[in-house]
Amino acid sequence: MGNGGTVLVVSKYPQYIGRTLQDIFVVAGYECLLAGYVHEGLKLFRESHPALIVSDLRMPFMRMNGLDLLKQVRQEDPDAAVIMLTGNMESGDASS
């Protein structure tokens, strides 16, 4: 593990966005875990207690989305550091 701790990336496209973010965090000295689904991300969150979670806001075609992940993480660890990302610019998405 790098000196920066662990980062968890939850993305509906782990092979694209997730791998890109993983490369960036690894070069910066972090261990990076990838999850393609919210339930997988929650499992890794509980097992690894990451220093930072980076998640897609919207995950269409999935039972849970990034906001569901954020709510569950906040219930379990109110001080967890979370960054939500979205590539969708529909009105209200990023500010809801």
Per-chain mean pLDDT for the chain: 86
**How do residues 43-59 score in pLDDT, each as one tens digit?**
999 999 999 999 998 87
Q: Return the percentage of the chain with pLDDT > 90, whole number.
A: 60
pTM for this model (two decimals): 0.84
Q: Domains in the chain, please, with CATH?
A: 6-85 (3.40.50.2300)
Predicted local distance difference test score (pLDDT) of residue 29: 94
Residues whose CB is less than 8 angstroms from the CB of residue 12 and which lie 6 or more positions away in sequence, other chains included: 36, 56, 58, 59, 60, 61, 62
Strand order in the sheet with 82-85: 31-35, 6-10, 52-56, 82-85
**How do residues 16-28 score in pLDDT, each as one tens digit?**
888 999 999 999 9
What would the two tokens of residue 8 be? Answer: 């968890």
* Position 91 confidence tier, pLDDT thresholds 50, 70, 90: very low
Predicted local distance difference test score (pLDDT) of residue 46: 97
Segment 18-45 mean pLDDT:
93
Q: Which residue has the tokens 């075609």?
A: 61
What would the two tokens of residue 76 be? Answer: 């379990």
